[in-house]
């Protein structure tokens, strides 16, 4: 059995040349974000395109995103929504999300995005009160890793049966298998991965793409 193919820069360029459908707004937002000191946090464009495809495949109308950053994934998902759909996205940074707002405005999706600034745990509790349980079709978790286990449990309560939870960075640059990596972020990713394996409330698949993408379908 062949192992995962090594993704060389040339091969990644090829993948993008033959499959990435990225317009000017998305491309410029990705370039501007990459030039930032924290640009490494940006989602890969092919992963954002996968999220958009999942939204269309599942008929998703209501999306919850935990971790907005500069809004690339938010934009990709908002554009994939059917009429009446919405992305509720959570972040703590006014600077990062100001950049996101400008891109959303250029792409004419501002009316499709509900940005919530503040602590994500508190925001998710508020959403549970406001909208009730099982009120989202798809949840994308891409925020601080130390709180992943808590975000997952809150997301599960907010996701409808048959809905999808997508967790980013579940391989965490390989640190999940490094016994010397005992920081809170790595421990949080390990914990949520172990929980997902045993959790009979979901069907689960971890994809060895990007930095690890895990799909969990709520039963």
pLDDT band at residue 5, thresholds of 50, 70 and 90?
Answer: confident
Q: What's the pLDDT score for residue 7?
A: 83
Distance separating alpha carbons of residues 134 and 125, to the nearest angstrom: 13
Q: What's the pLDDT score for residue 217?
A: 98
Q: What average pLDDT does the structure give for the chain?
A: 96
Distance separating alpha carbons of residues 108 and 97, to the nearest angstrom: 16
Tens digit of pLDDT for each residue in 152-166?
999 999 999 999 999
Give the burial string for 161-179 (b: 16+ CB within 10 Å, else e). eebbbbbbbbbbeebbeee
Q: What's the pLDDT score for residue 1?
A: 46
- Tell me what the mean pLDDT of segment 176-196 comes to: 97
Distance separating alpha carbons of residues 174 and 186, to the nearest angstrom: 10
Phi-psi region of 110 (alpha: psi -120 to 50; beta: other; left: phi over 0): alpha
- Tell me what the mean pLDDT of segment 108-136 comes to: 97
Q: What's the pLDDT score for residue 177?
A: 97
Tens digit of pLDDT for each residue in 6-59?
889 999 999 999 999 999 999 999 999 999 999 888 999 999 999 999 999 999
Three-class SS state of 139: strand
DSSP letter at 94 equals H
DSSP letter at 98 equals H
Three-class SS state of 218: strand
pLDDT band at residue 62, thresholds of 50, 70 and 90?
Answer: very high
- Of 113, 92, 90, 91, nearest to 101 (Cα)? 113
Domains and CATH numbers, the chain: 9-218 (3.40.50.150)
pLDDT higher than threshold 70 for residue 4: yes
CB 33 within 8 A of CB 70: yes
pLDDT higher than threshold 90 for residue 146: yes
Q: What's the pLDDT score for residue 2?
A: 59
Distance separating alpha carbons of residues 169 and 176, to the nearest angstrom: 10
């Amino acid at each position: 059995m062949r192992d995962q193919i090594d993704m060389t820069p040339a091969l990644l360029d090829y993948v993008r040349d033959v499959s990435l459908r990225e317009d000017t707004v998305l491309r410029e937002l990705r370039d501007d974000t990459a030039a930032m000191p924290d640009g490494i946090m940006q989602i890969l464009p092919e992963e954002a395109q996968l999220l958009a495809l999942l939204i269309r495949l599942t008929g998703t109308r209501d999306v919850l995103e935990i971790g907005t950053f500069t809004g690339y994934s938010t934009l990709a998902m908002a554009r994939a929504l059917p009429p009446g759909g919405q992305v509720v996205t959570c972040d703590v940074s006014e600077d990062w999300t100001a950049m996101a707002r400008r891109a959303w405005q250029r792409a004419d999706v501002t009316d499709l995005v509900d940005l919530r600034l503040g602590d994500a745990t508190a925001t998710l509790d508020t959403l549970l009160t406001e909208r009730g349980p099982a009120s989202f079709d798809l949840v994308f978790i891409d925020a601080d890793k130390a709180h992943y286990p808590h975000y997952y449990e809150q997301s599960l309560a907010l996701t409808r049966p048959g809905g999808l939870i997508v967790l980013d960075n579940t391989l965490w640059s390989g640190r999940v298998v490094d016994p010397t990596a005992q920081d809170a972020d790595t421990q949080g990713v390990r914990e949520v991965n172990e929980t997902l394996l045993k959790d009979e409330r979901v069907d689960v698949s971890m994809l060895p793409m990007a930095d690890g993408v895990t799909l969990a379908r709520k039963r």
